[in-house]
């Protein structure tokens, strides 16, 4: 009665393939970084990657091109990361290969990068979202629309967050 069919969905796969970079970056921004990456970190990245990907797949039919596709991906991805959505039942599974997780772990283990991420971990949701859009070069106008603020306010908050990050002491220094 209950059948499990596995088949590749080309359109959804191509959407994910094109934006895997953004999903990985949002995962790196939102999954807390430990002193050294643990099995737990890896599992959380894998889970968040899946949740973001599933949300993208489900929201894709509703995307009407109101903004650029990459902005839309950033928006969905950060919303998922902030709300920490968890599903109990899903009709799709998205799998990211282990080699990618290995490379992501190696890349994020770089000392400078890890220290930066540990500072980012201490930002609040809005600040982290702003930094994600800033580094992702999402157009200011679109960020303003997503966050319901004026462009000037966004510019000001981005600058303030950047200063906060720059002046933040590393946690072991405190």
Partner 1 sequence: MKNNDDILEVLEQHWERMDEIAEQSHVSVVRWHLPESPRRWVRSIAASVAAIAIGAALLLTKVPQPDGLYASNLSHRSEAIEAINEISMSIL
| Interface with partner 1 (CB under 8 A) | 1-9, 12-13, 16-17, 20-21, 24-25, 28, 53, 57, 90-97, 99-100, 103-104, 107-108, 110, 112-113, 115-116, 131, 134-136, 162, 165-167, 170
Least CB distance from residue 103 to partner 1, whole Å? 5
Q: What's the CA gap between 95 and 101, in Å, rounded?
A: 11
Least CB distance from residue 35 to partner 1, whole Å? 15
Length of the chain: 174
Whether 87 contacts 51, CB under 8 Å: yes
Least CB distance from residue 112 to partner 1, whole Å? 5
In the DSSP assignment, the letter for residue 170 is P
Q: What's the CA gap between 60 and 147, in Å, rounded?
A: 20
Instruction: Name the residue nearer to partner 1 (CB basis): 19 or 75.
Output: 19
Query: Vertex 163, ends 160 and 169: CA angle to 5°?
Result: 130
Least CB distance from residue 50 to partner 1, whole Å? 10
């Amino acid at each position: 009665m209950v059948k499990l069919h596995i088949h590749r969905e080309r359109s959804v796969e191509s959407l994910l393939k094109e934006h895997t970079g953004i999903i990985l970056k949002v995962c790196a921004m939102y999954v807390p970084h430990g002193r050294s990456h643990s099995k737990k970190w890896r599992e959380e990245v894998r889970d968040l990657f899946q949740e973001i990907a599933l949300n993208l797949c489900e929201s894709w039919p509703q995307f009407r091109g109101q903004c650029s596709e990459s902005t839309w991906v950033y928006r969905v991805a950060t919303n998922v990361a902030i709300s920490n959505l968890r599903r109990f039942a899903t009709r799709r599974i998205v799998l990211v290969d282990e080699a990618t997780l290995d490379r992501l772990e190696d890349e994020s283990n770089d000392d400078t990068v890890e220290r930066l991420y540990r500072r980012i971990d201490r930002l609040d949701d809005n600040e982290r979202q702003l930094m994600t859009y800033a580094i992702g070069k999402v157009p200011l106008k679109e960020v303003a629309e997503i966050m319901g603020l004026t462009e000037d306010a966004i510019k000001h908050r981005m600058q303030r967050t950047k200063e906060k990050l720059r002046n933040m002491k590393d946690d072991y220094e405190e």
